[in-house]
Chain A
Amino acid sequence: MIPRPTPQKVRIRRSMMFMNAQKPNLLKDAYIYGVDSIIMDLEDAVAENQKDSARFSLFNALKHIDYGDTEVIVRINGLDTPHWQEDVRVCVAAGVDGIRIAKCESAADVHAVEDAVAAAEKEFGVTPGRTLLMAALESPIGIMHAYEICTASKRLFGAAISAGDLRKSLHVKIEQGGLEMFVARSQVVMAARAAGVQCFDTMWPNLDDQAGFEAETLQARKLGFDGKSLINPRQIAFVHQTFEPTKAEIAYAEKLIRSFNAQQDSGVGVYTVDGKLVDVPFFDDARRVLAQAKEIGIYHGEL
């Protein structure tokens, strides 16, 4: 068996790629693509009469394939199905890093999964609290409850907006500029930031429309998301490039921190850098940018 390192609640999650847990040809080399997280899917990608088989497939893949630094998350079946509890058991027994709660609508949903995870950790002798959670918000009520969901559990590292179902419920379709998802996306970012967790944009389903995909990805970054779900390896490079700090952002962050260190020593609070007023929140943000750049491996400076 391949032991996985302890999952990190805070880490780089620019890209999360969905993989059907039932398909060995997808699972066997999912780590080679360099995505930050893979999401092995027990839910919609798996036919109703193959849910059992997908669990055995998932379990054995996790026990025998070394996914290395790639985070392994499993999307479990919805809480309104007869499948989710066994899904939780296999996830914990297999030692996955995190569980994605599909169609999460309330803090109570998170608590239900949390309780099942805690029970499974006990059953399989897994360190209590090891298994992380994330919530997929895919209904209007889920979006309305975003903040209570984001604050429902210490295990919860973030929330993803999942637009496929949401658009149906809202009676809208994909619009240029993301008009139809604007409020929902903003609400998820707001709730996640208020709760101090991460947030992830939905996947782009039209593989033939690269321009639409790029526009949506750029918009998600501008709205404040940490990363984006995706369904095809072709989408990884653009998502990574979009969600990592630019050279200019890194250089500016470095300049801010250096100036902060110098000004602090001489007792100055607020001052200007490049003609722009800066104060404490700027430095926190600059530290975040540098930490992120370091983790991705694109900053090698001394700060």
Chain B
Amino acid sequence: MELKHEALAGTLESSDAQVTVRPAAELTLDIQSSVLNQYGRQIKAVAEATLARLGVTSGEVAIVDKGALDCTLKARIETAVYRSADLSAAGIAWGVLA
């Protein structure tokens, strides 16, 4: 999926994560987290797997994590990417997101 413009999803509330994506030539991942020391690697792995599944091969992805579960982080990344591609409102391929 191609990122078309900057898009944001999620909040800075506890147990949530805020994800910002924007188009760029290279794929870069920036992670800030209140639990970076304990879960940094896990957060990175979830983010990379989610982006790979969505077919995102380029773009800047910034995550501000507030102790989100993996499923929340995944949801916020998916929302931001779909929003960036203007495809978030309907017709989501739910079958392949599982």
Chain B residues with a Cβ closer than 8 Å to the other chain, count: 27
In the complex, what distance in Å separates the CA atom of A90 from the CA atom of B75?
13
The answer to whether B94 and A64 have CB atoms under 8 Å apart is no
- Per-residue contact bits, chain A 112-140, to B (CB 8 Å; 1 contact, 0 not): 00000000000111000000000000000
Taking CB atoms and an 8 Å cut-off, the chain A residues in 239-268 that contact chain B are none
Q: A90 touches which one: B9, B10, B74, B94 (CB < 8 A)? A: B94
Residue-wise, chain A 48-64 has the 8 Å CB interface mask toward B (1 for contact) of 00011101110111011
* B42 CB, nearest partner CB in chain A, Å: 14
- B70 engages A64 (CB within 8 Å): yes
Residues of B within 8 A of A60 (CB): 71-72, 74-75, 78, 97
**Binary interface profile of B, 85-98, with partner A (CB < 8 Å = 1, else 0)?**
00011111011011
Q: What are the residues of chain B within 8 A of A214 when measuring CB–CB?
A: none
Question: Assuming the A-B contacts A25-B15, A64-B69, are A57 and B75 also in contact, with contact meaning beta carbons closer than 8 angstroms in the complex?
Answer: yes
What is the minimal beta-carbon distance from B10 to any residue of chain A, in angstroms?
Answer: 7
Interface centre among B78, B82, B89, B98 (most CB of A within 10 A): B98
Chain A count of residues within 8 A CB distance of the other chain: 27
B97 (CB) vs chain A CBs: closest residue: A59
**Binary per-residue interface labels of chain B (45-86) against chain A in the complex, 1 for a CB within 8 Å, 0 otherwise:** 000000000000000000000001111101110110011000
Q: Using Cβ atoms and an 8 Å threshold, which residues of chain A touch B82?
A: 52, 56
Which of B83, B88, B90, B94 contacts A93 (CB under 8 A)? B94
Query: Are B94 and A28 within 8 A (Cβ)?
Result: no
Q: Which residue of A lies closest to B10 (CB)?
A: A53
- CB-based contact A86/B75 at 8 Å: no
Known: A25-B13, A25-B15. A57 touches B90 (CB 8 A): no
Residue in B16, B79, B90 whose CB lies within 8 Å of A86: B90
Could you say which residues of chain B place their CB within 8 Å of the CB of A124? 94-95
- In the complex, how many angstroms separate the beta carbon of B70 from the nearest chain A beta carbon? 7
Please give, as numbers and ranges, the residues of chain A lying within 8 Å of B83 by CB-CB distance. 52
Contacts of A93 in B (CB 8 A): 94-95, 98
Tell me, in angstroms, the Cα distance from A90 to B90 when the chains sit together: 10
Cβ of B37 within 8 Å of any chain A Cβ, yes or no, is: no
- Do B16 and A25 have beta carbons less than 8 Å apart? yes
Residue A286, interface by CB 8 Å: no
Distance in angstroms between the alpha carbons of A63 and B94 in the assembled complex: 11
Taken residue by residue from 76 to 107, chain A's Cβ proximity to chain B (1 for < 8 Å, 0 otherwise) reads as 00000010011001100110000000000000
Decide: A24 near B92, CB < 8 A? Known: A53-B9, A59-B97. no
A168 to chain B, nearest CB (A): 29
Instruction: Give the 8 A-B CB pairs with smallest separation, nearest first.
Output: A93-B94, A64-B71, A52-B88, A25-B15, A60-B71, A60-B75, A24-B72, A56-B75
List 18 A–B pairs whose Cβ atoms lie within 8 Å, in order of A's numbering.
Answer: A1-B98, A24-B69, A25-B14, A28-B69, A51-B89, A52-B82, A53-B88, A56-B9, A57-B76, A60-B74, A60-B97, A61-B71, A63-B71, A65-B71, A86-B90, A86-B91, A90-B94, A93-B94
